[in-house]
Amino acid sequence: MLNRSAYRLDDLIFPLFVYESENVYKQSLMSGHMNKSKVCPKNLESLLDHLTNLGISQILLFGVPKKRNETGDSSFAKHGVIQNSIRKIRENFGYSFRIFSDVCLCQYNTSGHCGILTKKVNKYAFKRNLYRNAEIDNDRTLESLGRISLSLCDSGTDFIAPSAMMDGQVLYLRKLLNTNGFEHVKILSYSAKHNSCLYSPFRANNYLESGFIDKSSYQCSFYNKRESLREMLIDIKEGSDWVMIKPSLWYMDIIRQARELVNVPIVVQNVSGEYALLRSTMNPDSVSGPRVDDNRIGENKLNLVNGVFGLNQRKIESISRERSQLKKPNNLKKPMMDNDFLDASARLSINAKSSPTASGENRFYNPDPILNFIRLLKRAGADKIITYFLLDMLDENSMGKRTI
């Protein structure tokens, strides 16, 4: 059974992608990435029932719309995919869930950028890579982020989570919410969102085009830790209730330093690339692969050399004979190990403690990458963790199968 002493469910947040189009939803399932976090509106209630049964009470909502335009107007539609989802959750589950709602334009516009472009780009821009060096209109983007935030607050969200990394976004949104009577709605700011290739599986699933998009002009650089820490301190000063560092595992040094400077909850997000990498380590075939006989490898090499360079059989036999003479002799003395200094009873005691138990567990080593992943982030100083692994850890069908 899963050892839950390394974390609390209150410390984990489940990211949930709601697809407005069922066809797009089914196509995204073919990728195999983050599938447990994907849902279409008609299946939303059954998934939330499952989350409730598992004790999950915090969710972060992302929307994938049917239609997109250059300015991402569907992101603040009154009956947008996330707005309708929040209302549906409140109607059926009340306040059983704490709802965090992403505030960004990248999934709703045609460029894949987190803001509105300064220049209009035609539909052939992707093939000519014109979006790579595109400039973002910061002020126009703030206005759109404000409209998104108000629509989410009207729907009943608990937190807004601005992830666009626009300058002054927290101050602008905090004043806007307070002016419109939403002082109780808190802000989880993506303060240190780093420009990274680890978002690739997410972008391939949820963007209109999955090609390379350079966001270095407004996202943090992993070369500059001081910038990341400064962004967090600025957001707190502007009114952010929680701050986020993203991605997670590759930025634990920043998490550790932020823990010493910041006195608000620090959230880290396990992103899609990290999820894909760690999931691959849980499949033994993807790591070890099939075992191959060394002798068979040698024979194949000789056959390849013979075919390419036309070596005759006598030459091949000569190479094989020389190769056999290089084998290690069997009469070499075995090097002394630490156990050789111990008596027989002590060696038996050590072997008994370090050997796997009947259930396949090891008392001193936990091979589960998911649990170790959570522990590392907690030790670094993360208060809350947004993770795709939450269902992998808690799913009732896998609880008895995994060795923890």
* Predicted pLDDT at 147: 97
For residues 236 and 191, membership in a common domain is answered with yes
Q: Does residue 230 lie in a domain region?
A: yes
Residues identified as active-site: 193, 246
Question: Are residues 245 and 273 located together in one domain of the fold?
Answer: yes
For residue 353, is it within any domain?
Answer: no
The answer to the question of residue 386 being in a domain is yes
Query: Final residue of a domain: which of 330, 355, 389?
Result: 330
pLDDT at 211: 65
52 within some domain: yes
Same domain, 237 and 325: no
Asked whether residue 272 falls in the same domain as residue 320, the answer is no
One-letter-per-residue 3-state SS of the chain: CCCHHHCCHHHEEEEEEEECCHHHHHHHHCCCCCHHHEECHHHHHHHHHHHHHHCCCEEEEEEECCCCECCCHHHHCCCCHHHHHHHHHHHHHCCCCEEEEEECCCCCECCCCCCEECCCCCCCCCCCCCCCCCCEEHHHHHHHHHHHHHHHHHHCCCEEEECCCCCCHHHHHHHHHHHCCCCCCEEEEEEEEECCHHHHHHHHHHCCCCCCCCCCCCCECCCCHHHHHHHHHHHHHHCCCEEEEECCHHHHHHHHHHHHHCCCCEEEECCHHHHHHHHHHCCHHHHCCCCCCHHHHHHHHHHHHHHHHCCCHHHHHHHHHHHHHCCCCCCCCCCCCHHHHCCHHHHHHHHHHHCCCCCCCCCCCCCCHHHHHHHHHHHHCCCEEECCCHHHHHCHHHHCCCCC
Say whether both 250 and 298 belong to one domain: no
What pLDDT, on a 0 to 100 scale, did the predictor assign at position 294? Answer: 47
The boundaries of the domain holding residue 312 are 291-330
How do the pLDDT tens digits run along the chain, 404 residues long? 344 455 688 899 999 999 999 998 998 888 888 889 999 999 999 999 999 998 999 999 999 999 999 999 999 999 999 999 999 999 999 999 999 999 999 999 988 899 999 876 655 554 445 455 578 999 999 999 999 999 999 999 999 999 999 999 999 999 999 999 999 999 999 999 999 888 888 888 778 766 668 888 899 998 899 999 999 999 999 999 999 999 998 899 999 999 999 999 999 998 988 888 877 776 655 444 444 444 554 555 555 545 544 555 565 566 565 555 554 455 444 444 444 434 444 444 434 444 444 444 444 344 567 788 888 899 999 999 999 888 887 764 544 443 32
Same domain? 295 vs 381? no
Q: 384 and 298 share a domain?
A: no
pLDDT of 52: 93
Same domain, 303 and 267: no
Same domain, 302 and 167: no
**Do residues 100 and 226 both lie within one domain?**
yes
